Amino acid sequence: MNYGVATAQKGFVTKDRVINALSREAFKDFIENNTKLKK
């Protein structure tokens, strides 16, 4: 876990780019609107 967090911080990954940091509603919107996930 610490390695993953350190790597993300080093890469300047912000909270809005991490899927498991999204709220339930934002996650639902992401899943519904992401065309790459639709088959």
> How does pLDDT run along the chain (39 residues), one tens digit per residue?
777 778 777 777 888 888 888 999 999 998 888 877 766
**8: number of Cβ within 10 Å:** 14
pLDDT of residue 39: 61
Domain residue limits at 8: 2-33
Residue 37 near residue 31, CB atoms below 8 Å: yes
Indicate whether 38 belongs to any domain: no
The domain tally of the chain equals 1
Q: Is residue 8 part of a domain?
A: yes
